[in-house]
Amino acid sequence: MAEVFTKTAARNIYIGGSVFFILFFLGLTFETVRSMPTRDHRENLTESVARGKLLWEENNCIGCHSLMGEGAYFAPELGNVFQRRGMANEQAFKGFLKGWMDAQPLNVPGRRAMPQFNLNADEVNDLADFLIWTSNIDNNNWPPNIEG
């Protein structure tokens, strides 16, 4: 084909372009991972926070809720529930969360229902620590307001 833009040219753009952007992306990832400690405050990531994350996962909380805007959209955002329901006070929040988990399901006819997960006091405490830690990640000030 006597065309200016040949198949070979297209292939070279594909290969050159993808190699370039893969390397660029790896570089950005390296930078992001290196700068993350100042953003996620991992010095506060205690064993309790880690256990809380595992509980969060093993009960599939993300199947209904969002966390920092990701997950399902069936139930409220929990990345800032520490501020919303605990007024950013650890004791208040932990008290709230224990009461909340124990009260489920609320059994209001027709209302979206949250299951009873049968967590003990230590487990709810870990879960609370995980949510508190999460709420302190520097995420460029999302969400726009307290309602999430």
Partner 1 sequence: MKFESQAVAKPYFVFALLLFALQIVFGLIIGLQYVVGDFLFPYIPFNAARMVHTNLLIVWLLFGFMGAAYYLVPEEAGVELYSVKLAKILFWVFAAAGVLTVAGYLLVPYAKLAAFTKNEWFPTMGREFLEQPTIAKVGIVVVALGFLFNIGMTILQGRKTVINTVLITGLLGLALMFLFSFYNPENLALDKYFWWWVVHLWVEGVWELIMGSILAFVLIKTTGVDREVIEKWLYVIIAMALITGIIGTGHHYYWIGPKPYWLWLGSFFSALEPIPFFAMTVFAFNMVFKRRRNHPNRAALLWAMGTGVMAFLGAGVWGFLHTLAPVNYLTHGSQITAAHGHMAFYGAYAMINLTIISYAMPVLRGQGEAASPKAQVVEMWGFWLMTVSMVFITLFLTGAGILQVWLQRLPDASNALSFMDTMDQLAVFFWMREIAGVGFFIGLLCYFSSFFVGAKSTSTVAFNG
Q: List residues binding ligand HEM (CB under 6 A).
A: 69-70, 72-74
Q: How far is the CB of 42 from partner 1 (least distance, A)?
A: 6
Q: Is 117 in the site for partner 1 (CB under 8 A)?
A: yes
How many residues sit close enough to partner 1 to count as binding (CB under 8 A)?
A: 72
Q: Is 103 in the site for partner 1 (CB under 8 A)?
A: no
CA–CA separation, 51 vs 37, rounded Å? 20
Choose which of 90, 95, 99, 142 interacts with partner 1 (CB under 8 A): 142
Choose which of 2, 4, 91, 144 interacts with partner 1 (CB under 8 A): 144
Neighbours of 29 (CB within 10 A): 10
Choose which of 30, 43, 48, 69 interacts with partner 1 (CB under 8 A): 69
What are 74's two structure tokens? 């069936």
Residue type, 122: D
The closest of 81, 86, 57, 82 to 71, measured between CA atoms, is 57
Q: How far is the CB of 123 from partner 1 (least distance, A)?
A: 10
Secondary structure element (H or E) that encloses residue 67, with its range: strand 66-67
Which one of 22-30, 86-94, 95-103 is the stretch in contact with partner 1 (CB under 8 A)? 22-30
Q: How far is the CB of 142 from ligand HEM (least distance, A)?
A: 9
Which residues, including other chains, have CB under 8 Å from residue 87's CB and lie 6 or more apart? 93
The closest of 135, 114, 128 to 53, measured between CA atoms, is 128
